[in-house]
Structure 1
Amino acid sequence: MDTLRARQDVVTITRTIISATPQPSPYNWAAGATTAYPIHGSCNATERALLSRGLNEAVVLAAHAKDHVLRFGNSSEFYTKYFGISPTAEVIGWYDKIVSADRGDIWFRCDDIDGNCAQHGWAGHWRGENATQETVICPLSFTSRMPLEGLCGYGYSVSSGALNFYFGSDLVHRLYHLPRIGEGIVEHYADTYSECLELAQSDPALAARNSHTLQYFALDVYAFDIALPGEGCTGRPLDFESEDPSTMTEVIPSATTTAATVSSSLERHP
C-alpha cells in the first residue's frame, strides 16, 4: 500500500528555458516612403474624393504612356510625332516620376491660402515661392474637370481640346510643376498642339521635357490604346489655336503676394 501511494505522489520537474537571442528587425530600404499623393486637411470629404480620383487618373495616364513607350519604343508613330528622335529613356523616366516617385513633402490643398481662387477663372495654381511643393486646387476644378472614363467623349479631341478638360491630364501638368516630380526641368517650351509637333522636329531634347508634350502624348496613346482601341480621338487642330491649350496664364508672386498684387512665381491654371 505504501508503495502504491508513493507511485501516486506528484513529481515536480523544473526546466529552465533560455530564450533565443533577440534578432534585429530586417532592413527595409523603403521605410518611411510616402506612396500616396498627400491631400491637405483643408479639403472636405467630397473634394478629397474627387481629388483622389483625379490623382489616380493622372497616374493611370502616366503609367500607360510609359508602358506604350516601353512596348513600342521609337517605332511608335505617336512617339516620333511628339518626341521626334529623342531617346526613349528620358521620356519613360518623366512618366515614371508621376507613377513611382516618393510623394513626401507634396501637398494638394483646397483652401484659398494665397487669395487667388476668388479671381475669375482660377481653377488652381502651383504656389511657387510661397511653397514650392504645394498646389492649390480651387473650387472651379471640382465642377469643370471631366473623368478619364469620358476620354473621347463630350466632343473632345486631343488636337483641339483643352489639356485640362480631364482632371487626370490637368493634374499631370500640375505635378510636373512640383520640384519633386518635374525637378525644375519639365517646363513650358511649347504650348499649342501644333507648336508641340514642331518642337519634336526642331528640338527633340526639349520636346522630351515639355510639359504640354508629355500631356498630349499621354492623352493620345491612352485614347488610341484604351479609350477607343485602334481608333482614338486625335482629331485635327483648330484652324486658329490659342496661345495655350489650357488657356493658361502665368503670374508669379513673392511670398507675401495676394491675388491683388501679382509679381514673380505662382502659376495659375484656369
Structure 2
Amino acid sequence: MPRLSTRELPEHSNSLPLPGFVSLRTPYRRDFFPGYLSQDSRPRTHQKHTLSLSSIPSRVVNFNPFSLQPTKRHTMFAGAASLLLLLPLAVATPLGARQADSPVTVTVDTNPAGPTNSVYNWARGWEDEFPIHPSCNATNRAQIAAGLRETVQLAAHARDHLLRWGSESEIARRYFGNASVAGPIGWYSRVVSGNKVGMLFRCDDPDRNCATQEAQVLTLKSPGWAGHWRGDNATQETVICDLSYERRLPLAAVCSRGYTVAESPLNTYWATDLLHRVFHVPLISDLRLEHYAEDYADALRIAATDPDLAVLDSDALQYFAIDAWAYDIAVPGIGCSGEVPQVSPTSPPAAPEPTSTQTADASCHTHDDGFVHC
C-alpha cells in the first residue's frame, strides 16, 4: 500500500490548517493557481483554468493520487485538498466586485416645497455706522469718518466705565449726582450700536448757515459755525461746516496744549463735538436730551440738586465722557479735570430752556458765556 508522505511547512501568517492533520499547514498564497489571480489580487475574468490535484505544488504534499487501495487517511487528505482548492475560488470570485460596482440611485428633490430663504433674520437692515453724504469730498469724508469713529470710542468707554464702576465712580457722581447710571449707559449705547438708518452727515450747506455765519466772522467778530443740526428742515441730518476742519482735535491730543475739562471749550475735540451733534438727532435722543446746563459749573450744580435732570443733560453726558477718557485713557489715574468748582446743594433756579440767538437758526442756542451751540 502506498504511504502518504507529508513534509512540514514553515509557519505563515495566513496559512490554513487541513482537517485531520495538525502538523500540516498549507500557505494560502496568490501564486497557488497561476494566471487566476493577478499581482494586484484582482480577478481576471477573461481566463479559464481547469483545476486538478496535479496543479498543487509538489512542495506542499507528495502522494500517489492513483492508488488503487486508498486508506482512510488518503480519503481524508483528498477531501481536505479538494476543499483547499475550492477556497480560492470562493474568495476570488468576481461576483462580489461586480455587486460592489453596481450603481446606486439617489433621488434629490431640486424643487422643495416652500421658499428656501424664509429664515427670519432679526438684524436685517441694522446699520450701526454713521452715513456720510456724497456731498463730502474725499478729505472732508476722511476727517468726518475719523471723528465719528472717535465719537463711538468715546461713548463706548463712557458706557464701559459706568458698567465697571456704576454709581461708585467719583466721576459719575460728579456729573450725575446720585441718579441711576442706567440712563447714561443707554444713551451711550445708542451712539455706539444704535440703528442709524436715516441719519446723515453732509457737507453741502443746504440751509446756507455755514456760508452766512462764516461771513459774520469777519464783519461781526462772530465765532462762526462749525456745523449745525438741521432741525425742522431735516431732523435726522447734520451739516459739517469748514470751520470744523480748522478747530477740532483728535482724542490723541486730550490733556495736551493746556486743555482741562473744567476750563476748556467742550467742543475742543472731534469726539465731543460730534457726540453733542448726534445727541440732537431724534433717532439717538428720542428728543429727551437737551442743553440744560449753561456751563461746567452749572452742570455740576444740576447734578447736585436735580440728578434726574442731569442724566438728560447733553452737556453733562459730554463732560462725563471726556473726563472719564482723560482719567482712564489719556493720562491714566491722573486725567486733566482742572479746577473743579465747589458746588453747594442749594436750590437752583429752574432749569433754563434752550434759547435761540437772533442771528442763528432755531436749532442753535447761546450759553451765558456767549458760546453758540448749533
Band the TM-score falls in, shorter-chain normalisation:
0.7 to 0.9
1:18 aligns with 2:18: no
| 1:168 corresponds to | 271
Q: Pick one of 180, 194, 202 that aligns with 1:109.
A: 202
Q: Pick one of 183, 186, 190 that aligns with 1:97.
A: 190
SS of the equivalent of 1:108 reads strand
1:62 aligns with 2:152: no
> Normalising by structure 2, what TM-score?
0.61
Q: Using the TM superposition, give the Cα deviation of residue 183 of structure 1 relative to its aligned residue in structure 2, in angstroms.
A: 1.0
**RMSD between aligned alpha carbons?**
2.6
| 1:208 corresponds to | 311
1:18-37 superposed matches below 5 A? 18-19=108-109, 21=112, 23-37=116-130
Conserved? CA contact 1:59–1:99, under 8 Å: yes
1:147-158 superposed matches below 5 A? 147-158=250-261
Q: Distance in 2 between matches of 1:232 and 1:43?
A: 35
- 1:72 is aligned with what amino acid? W
Q: Pick one of 174, 190, 193 that aligns with 1:81.
A: 174
Change (3 A) 1:266 1:161: closer
Q: Where does the alignment leave 5 or more consecutive residues of structure 2 unmatched?
A: 1-44, 47-93, 95-100, 215-223, 342-353, 366-371
Change (3 A) 1:45 1:69: same
- 2:287 is aligned with what amino acid? G
Identity %: 49
SS of the equivalent of 2:272 reads helix
Conserved? CA contact 2:279–2:285, under 8 Å: yes
Change (3 A) 1:13 1:230: closer
Change (3 A) 1:262 1:149: closer
Q: Using the TM superposition, give the Cα deviation of residue 97 of structure 1 relative to its aligned residue in structure 2, in angstroms.
A: 1.1
Q: Using the TM superposition, give the Cα deviation of residue 88 of structure 1 relative to its aligned residue in structure 2, in angstroms.
A: 1.3
- 1:193 is aligned with what amino acid? Y
Q: Distance in 2 between matches of 1:140 and 1:170?
A: 12
- 2:124 is aligned with what amino acid? A
Larger relative contact order (C-alpha < 8 A, sep ≥ 6)? 1
| 1:243 corresponds to | none
After superposition, the C-alpha distances for 1:64-88 in whole angstroms (9 at most, x for unaligned) are: 1111111111111111111001111
1:143 aligns with 2:246: yes
Change (3 A) 1:32 1:185: same
Change (3 A) 1:262 1:77: closer
SS of the equivalent of 2:239 reads strand
Q: Pick one of 337, 346, 350 that aligns with 1:234.
A: 337
Q: Using the TM superposition, give the Cα deviation of residue 91 of structure 1 relative to its aligned residue in structure 2, in angstroms.
A: 1.3
Q: Where does the alignment leave 5 or more consecutive residues of structure 1 unmatched?
A: 239-247, 253-260
Indicate the structure (1 or 2) with the bigger Cα radius of gyration: 2
Count residues with an aligned counterpart: 247
